[in-house]
Amino acid sequence: MTPSKLTPEQEMQQRYRNVFGGSEGKLVLGDILSKGHYGVTLDPDNPVMVAEYNFALVIATLAGAFDALYRQYGMVQEPE
């Protein structure tokens, strides 16, 4: 059986996981989330704050930071 070919999006997501998967990468990812106001009540009238939050979440999601949570709630399809 040959391994399935990854899409360009999946390849990029794997790169994010490679970069942020180590101990140093996890520290940087935590800093990105902190600077992106993760866990803080956002001011919806502050578009910069909302944009920073959204971008931090995109990076964290690509890095796989929420994978365990997504699996717990059945939000991802498990490979066959």
The pair of structure tokens assigned to 14 is 């794997």
Position 23 in a domain: yes
Which range of residues forms the domain containing residue 14? 8-72
Residue 37: left (phi > 0), alpha (psi -120 to 50), or beta? left
Position 12 in a domain: yes
Position 45 in a domain: yes
Position 3 in a domain: no
- CA end-to-end distance (rounded Å), the chain: 13
Position 37 in a domain: yes
Predicted structure pTM score = 0.81
Q: How confident is the model at residue 78 (pLDDT cuts 50, 70, 90)?
A: low
Residue 56: burial class (beta carbons within 10 Å; 0-12, 13-18, 19+): buried
How many domains is the chain partitioned into structurally? 1
Position 77 in a domain: no
Q: What is the pLDDT of residue 52?
A: 98
Position 78 in a domain: no
- Rounded to an integer, the average pLDDT of 28-44 is 97
